[in-house]
Amino acid sequence: MNDQLKQIVAPLLEWYRRCARKLSWRSDPTPYRVWVSEIMLQQTRVEAVKPYYERFMEQLPTVQALAEAEEEKLLKLWEGLGYYSRVRNLQKAAKVVMKIYGGELPADFETLRSLPGIGEYTAGAIASIAFGKPVPAVDGNVLRVLSRVTESRRDILNSKVKKEFSEQLREIYPTDCAGDFTQALMELGAMVCVPNGVPLCEQCPLSHCCQAFLHQTMLELPVKAEKKPRKLKEKTVFVALDPQNRIAVQKRPDTGLLAGLWEFPNAEGALTREQAAEYWKNLGVCPGSIQKLRAAKHIFTHVEWKMSGYLVRLPQSVDQFVWVTKEELHGQYAVPNAYKAFLKVLAEVLG
DNA sequence: AAATCGGGGGG
DNA sequence: CCCCCAGATTT
């Protein structure tokens, strides 16, 4: 039994009950509500999730509603949140829950773990928070807290390290309030034992037993492996309008980056005005005018798009694309934030 | 084990 | 600029 970690349980729970934020999914932790919140919160800050969560639960309040929803509606509800495969997997899992588990989310860790989009962390989070099972849920917050409390200098991105922290936690998990303990560890990491800048150790209920605090090594921890530089991709984006000011869009492939979302016509590389004209001629239409737009860039985790842009007016639409009004685009089509600069152009041109 | 998959808030 | 965020899946 891990005596060093055992002593964090009581003070952490006391602190959590005194200081926990009031969050929508905490106030009524049904399995479905916890599940949706955990998927949205993957690699995503609480503040960013809040408005998406409220809207999602309002529109799709049950597993059945989620299972039966149109894909376009799902993507629109997720628009701007990122990591869009999350919502596809969420629905895949909802369909399995309807078909195999009678519409009720399973309570067992391994069964949860088998569902699409539910990995080690999320299975532990749902099992403990929604079902009260004494199962660890180790996310970035928890790894940071444990690295500092134990003054561990091992790489927290290493899967073996993650597993060992999880095993240590398993031994000390309270059986009567597992959900509170799961959330307390994460809450401490988010509010006190923070990642950027100086942790608020004077407020921390664990400072008395935190090895990093005792040795003043908090800022050196946790240790993470170095990340690789991102690749640069040049693109040319077309804001193309037909005589009725309808906008050309296309749906991205259903795998890969931004799968299934809608985008403006675009080509690889930084095209000159002449090459831009050629692009449209090859599609069987000669542009009435081509106006160069301000360049834009968008940074993803592993790639950066450097985008040239042209406003193109066409004498007729072409079948290659879907032609939509500005209102239709905003109301029904999920467009990734990478194209925000060109959506803005649209607003300026069309009012 | 490494790569892929978004977007934004804060130092 | 860089960091990291209630990670999962694929290769």
Type of residue found at A137? A
Mean pLDDT of A167-195: 97
- Spatial distance from the CA of A290 to the C1' of B2 (Å): 43
pLDDT grade, residue A348 (50/70/90)? very high
Domain A231-350 has CATH 3.90.79.10: yes
Q: Could you report the per-residue pLDDT of A92-129, keeping only the tens digit for each? A: 999 999 999 999 999 999 999 999 999 999 999 999 99
- On average, the pLDDT of chain A sits at 97
**Residues of A 103-142 whose CB lies less than 7 Å from any atom of strand B:** none
Across all strands, nucleotide nearest A255 (CA–C1'): B5
Residue lying closest to nucleotide B5, CA to C1': A83
Mean pLDDT of A126-149: 98
Measure the CA–CA gap between A171 and A168, rounded to whole angstroms.
Answer: 6
Whether the pLDDT of residue A1 is over 80: the answer is no
β-bridge partners, A306:
A234, A297
CA dihedral A241, A245, A251, A252 (to 10 degrees): 40
pLDDT at residue A228, rounded to an integer: 87
Residue with tokens 């809608």: A262
What backbone torsions phi and psi does residue A221 show, to the nearest 5 degrees? -125, 150
Mean pLDDT of A58-85: 98
**Residues of A 181-200 whose CB lies less than 7 Å from any atom of strand B:** 196-197
- What residue segments make up the domains of chain A, in order of their start? 231-350
Which residues touch A5 (CB under 8 Å, ≥6 apart)?
A146, A149, A150, A168, A169, A171, A172
Sequential DSSP letters for A247-283: EEEEEPPSSSTTTT-EE--EEES---HHHHHHHHHHT
User: CA A220, A221, A222 angle in degrees (round to 5)?
Assistant: 145
Mean pLDDT of A196-207: 94
β-bridge partners, A296:
A307
Mean pLDDT of A167-180: 97
Give me the percent of chain A exceeding a pLDDT of 70.
Answer: 100
pLDDT at residue A4, rounded to an integer: 85
Whether the pLDDT of residue A9 is over 90: the answer is yes
Q: Can you state the angle between helices A46-59 and A31-41, rounded to 10 degrees? A: 140
CA A93, A94, A95, A101 torsion-angle sign: positive
- Collapse the DSSP code of A223 into the 3-class scheme (helix H, G, I; strand E, B; otherwise coil) and give the result: strand
Q: Could you report the per-residue pLDDT of A209-245, keeping only the tens digit for each? A: 999 999 999 999 999 988 888 999 999 999 999 999 9
Whether the pLDDT of residue A187 is over 70: the answer is yes
> Which bases of strand B have any atom within 7 Å of the beta carbon of a protein residue?
1-11
Mean pLDDT of A248-277: 97
pLDDT at residue A309, rounded to an integer: 98
Q: Could you report the per-residue pLDDT of A306-339, keeping only the tens digit for each? A: 999 999 999 999 999 999 999 999 999 999 999 9
Measure the CA–CA gap between A103 and A285, rounded to whole angstroms.
Answer: 51
The verdict on whether A38 is a catalytic residue reads yes
> Which bases of strand C have any atom within 7 Å of the beta carbon of a protein residue?
3-9
Measure the CA–CA gap between A323 and A257, rounded to whole angstroms.
Answer: 23
**Residues of A 46-105 whose CB lies less than 7 Å from any atom of strand B:** 47-48, 80-85
Whether the pLDDT of residue A264 is over 70: the answer is yes
Check if the beta carbon of residue A250 is closer than 8 Å to that of residue A263.
Answer: yes
Whether the pLDDT of residue A2 is over 90: the answer is no
Whether the pLDDT of residue A350 is over 90: the answer is yes
Mean pLDDT of A269-280: 98
Whether the pLDDT of residue A88 is over 80: the answer is yes
Q: Could you report the per-residue pLDDT of A14-58, keeping only the tens digit for each? A: 999 999 999 999 999 999 999 999 999 999 999 999 999 999 999
Element (H, E) at A147: helix A140-149
- Spatial distance from the CA of A340 to the C1' of C1 (Å): 21
pLDDT grade, residue A64 (50/70/90)? very high
Q: Quick one: tokens of A297?
A: 């860039």
pLDDT at residue A197, rounded to an integer: 86
- Spatial distance from the CA of A64 to the C1' of C3 (Å): 39
